[in-house]
């Protein structure tokens, strides 16, 4: 979190992490598309010839609060290829929350596991306590064959601490639920650490309500009705 008193701006940095081609950039593109044109900033991307993000995407979303503090949510993705480990570590610096985008295909189970372990290592390298970092998990590509079943994912949800969401990012399905869940988790941690409500009269409800109004959808976890 960064706070600029002079500009009355509070910035939150959220990272979309995961193996190569799992759908990180597609999530940001879908979020950008769903925002009204007059309320969205420019989406910056840098891609290689095979359509993989080489460095990161940055999608700032600006929110005005009742107390006059502007909350700026900055979304980044990291390159999933193994060779870009140093870039992933660099982009993770100063992160307030992470969405781990997993590929639902059974053939990608090992890549998901290796990428998640890479995330934990890079968080530790940056001085974060992995147990305290707000993390949500999205199982993407639910429209493809030979994917991990919902019942198995529900069992994983019960065993783990991270909220899990199902998505088909190419169709925009599950994208906003994942994003709103990440914002909520990150904001709750910032409230716990910095008492934002007491200091600035900014509540999580204000932020989520503003975002829900923009997207017209409520966050939902796996297994909720």
pLDDT tens across the length of the chain (225 residues): 888 767 778 899 999 999 989 999 899 989 888 877 766 677 777 665 554 554 556 778 888 777 788 888 999 988 767 666 777 888 899 999 999 999 999 999 999 999 999 999 999 999 999 999 999 999 999 999 999 999 999 888 888 889 999 999 999 999 999 999 999 999 999 999 998 888 888 888 788 888 887 776 554 444 333
- Non-local (6+) Cβ contacts of 100 within 8 A are 17, 18, 115, 116, 119, 135, 136, 137, 138, 162
Q: pLDDT value at position 183?
A: 93
Coil vs helix vs strand at 1: coil
Domains of the chain and CATH, by start: 2-215 (3.40.50.300)
Q: pLDDT value at position 223?
A: 39
């Amino acid at each position: 979190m960064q706070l600029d008193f002079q500009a009355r701006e509070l910035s939150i940095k959220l990272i979309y992490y995961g193996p190569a081609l799992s759908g990180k950039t597609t999530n940001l593109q879908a979020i950008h598309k769903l925002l009204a044109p007059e309320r969205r900033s420019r989406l910056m991307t840098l891609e290689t010839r095979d359509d993989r993000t080489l460095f990161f995407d940055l999608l700032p979303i600006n929110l005005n609060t009742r107390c006059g503090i502007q909350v700026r949510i900055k979304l980044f993705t990291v390159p999933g290829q193994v060779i870009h480990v140093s870039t992933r570590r660099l982009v993770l610096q100063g992160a307030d929350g992470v969405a781990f985008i997993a590929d639902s295909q059974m053939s990608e189970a090992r890549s998901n596991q290796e990428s998640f372990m890479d995330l934990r290592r890079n968080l530790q390298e940056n001085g974060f306590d992995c147990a305290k970092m707000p993390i949500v998990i999205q199982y993407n590509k639910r429209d493809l064959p030979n994917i991990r079943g919902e019942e198995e994912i529900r069992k994983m949800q019960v065993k783990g601490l991270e909220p899990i969401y199902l998505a088909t990012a190419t169709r925009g399905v599950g994208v906003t639920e994942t994003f709103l869940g990440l914002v909520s988790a990150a904001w709750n941690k910032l409230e716990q650490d910095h008492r934002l409500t007491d200091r600035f009269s900014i509540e999580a409800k204000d932020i989520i309500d503003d975002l829900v109004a923009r997207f017209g959808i409520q966050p939902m976890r796996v297994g909720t009705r």
